[in-house]
Structure formats: structure tokens, C-alpha cells
Chains A and B, each alone.
Chain A
Amino acid sequence: MLSNDIDILNIANKWKNLGKKVAIATVIQTWGSAPRGVGSKLVIDQDGNFEGSVSGGCVEGAVINEAMELFEDSEPKVLEYGVSNEMAWEVGLACGGTIRIYLNELK
């Protein structure tokens, strides 16, 4: 059962224990109607496996791509997706809100 962020962090910890690179994405701010609240988490491993969510499935793909880049350069980053953002249109943040996400690697 994956119904809260602790379960998701447990999975991140498990992946790390298996020696994988792991990234944690956290929603840190939202404007307008956003499907997942502040604090919601998505965890991603180096193979592209993921658990949790930061939206209703709209931007997860883009965040996973960002995570793959993060595994190369290792610098935490703040991502923003919204109606004014081309990427969000592309990936389809259909809800019309804007979200800001903090993405960093589990070290």
C-alpha cells in the first residue's frame, strides 16, 4: 500500500540500500489548482523506476528526465511547471495550476 510519503521514502531508502542512485522530488509550492499538495513526493532511481507523485501524472515524465540529468551533475535544482511554461504544455499540466518542485539526490 503506497498511500503516503513515508512509504515512498521507505522505497527510496530501499533502492539506495541496493546501491542505486536515487533522486527525491518534493512539491515545495503550488499556485492555482494543483493536484498534489505541498510536501508530496516522487522518488526515482537510476533505471527510471519511480514511486509516488508530484502531480496527477502530468509532469512526472519531465521530472524523471530531470532526475536522469541530476544523476550526472549531482546539483539539487528547483523546477517549475505551469501554464506559462512551455514544458508544462508539452507534458500537459492540464489542471491549469503552477507547481514548484525541489529535486535532489539521496546521498
Chain B
Amino acid sequence: MKKELLEKIIESYANRQSIACLLNIETNEEIILKAGEKTENEDLNEKISECIKLDKSKLVTIKDKVYFIDVYNPPLKLVIIGAVHIAQHLVLFAQGLNFDCILIDPRQGFANHERFPDITIYNNWPDEVLDEIDVDERTAIVTLTHDPKIDDVALKYVLKKNCFYIGSLGSKKTHQSRINRLKGEYAEEFLNRIHGPIGLNIGARTPVEIALSIMAEIIAKLRG
């Protein structure tokens, strides 16, 4: 691989741009294609966009030529509503898994860089900022305040978005009340997308254990 190619891959990742590195196994020629960029071969283009979409690198044979399509997608995003104690641990797990973490909480006392170094913080109400965050199919969102004033606003925004995971903290009872509040506005198929009570059932008790169960559920949803 040429060094400038490697640097382009690193740069695209930093700029949150999806790319594929296309290698011809016989000639050892390599080129970089941004998502949407085309080669002259239609069949190959189709394979490349499929790989980018599925986030899977793959060896393909097209008209007796063998290519390796190596996909580099930007990091997954985790949007956290509520800068609570669990969120502090959740951020550490998520960063270890290379998620970009975005924290939203209008309460400055909770959401600040003292408590949450190295992440993007919005001291706003969720509906004021979710538009600019670009909630897409590579985004997971968790609501952790269990205060309807904050959580419901976020849920209403994301329920019809393409994000791959939605989870809400709260007991079964809290979750049922949440569903009852939202049921007038949203069909069951949307409400069923909310994982509540949040997290895999591993008997978690402490904030760090609950954070682990949430992260495990997010990965299960992503890979499952």
C-alpha cells in the first residue's frame, strides 16, 4: 500500500467520511473510492456500495478479476440523554468500543467537561440539538434521566428515525407509564423499538454494571 493512500484512509475516518479501498489482487493496484464514487465497472460499483452499506469488507470476483473491497466507515455514534452517574461509565465503555459519544442535558451542573472530559456536550433540550447531530442508521440513543420532560422529548424525535438502537432507563413500571404517554402519538411498531427497561439482564446493580449491561445490549443489537 502506498503511504499517501494510508493517510487518505486515516483522514477520511477523521472527517467521518465512508470510503472503500479497492485492491486488484493480481495487479496489486489500489484505489480509494468515497461512498458514491464510481469505477467504470457497474457490477463492481454495486458490490462496493453494498459493502459500504453492510459495513463489511469482502473479496469479490467480477469477470475473472479478483478484487478486495476494504470498507472504512466512520465510527458509530452514541447519543446519551442525561448526564447521570451511569452515563459517566457508559461513556468509558463506548469510547473503548470506538463510539463517538454525544451528551445532551440542559442541566449544566450535570453535563460539563469536569464530569465528562473528551466528549461533545450540549447543554440544551434534546429537540433543540438533535437535528444537527444527524441521527442515522449508525447511531444508538439512550435516555437516562427517567424524567419525562427530557427523555420523552428525545424519544419523540428519534422514534421515527433510522437509528439502530433506542434504550430508556427506568423500571418496568416507569417504562409502562412512558409507553402510555407516547401511545396516543405513536403506533406500537414504533414504541416496540424502545428497549426498556434498558440493558441486558445480567443482574446489574451498580452504575458501572448497568452501563455494562446497556453497552452489551447495544452491541447485541448491532451484531445480532
Contact = CB atoms under 8 A, between A and B. Distances in A.
Nearest to B58: A38
Interface size class of B (residues with CB under 8 A): 20 to 34
B57 interface: yes
Given A39-B71, A102-B23, A6 B59 contact: no
B97 interface: yes
Interface stretch (B6-14, B37-45, B130-138, B184-192): B6-14
Contact of A13 (B7, B56, B95): B7
Given A1-B95, A38-B56, A102 B6 contact: no
Nearest to B2: A107
Contacts of A5: 72
Interface in B17-33: 23, 25, 28
Interface residues of A, number: 25
A48 B57 CA distance: 27
Interface stretch (A22-30, A58-66, A85-93): A22-30
B3 A102 contact: no
Contacts of A16: 3, 6
A104 B1 contact: yes
A106 B3 contact: yes
A38 B57 contact: yes
25 contacts: A3-B96, A3-B97, A3-B98, A6-B10, A9-B6, A9-B9, A9-B10, A10-B10, A13-B7, A16-B6, A26-B68, A28-B25, A28-B57, A28-B68, A29-B59, A38-B58, A39-B57, A39-B70, A76-B28, A78-B25, A104-B1, A106-B3, A106-B6, A107-B1, A107-B3
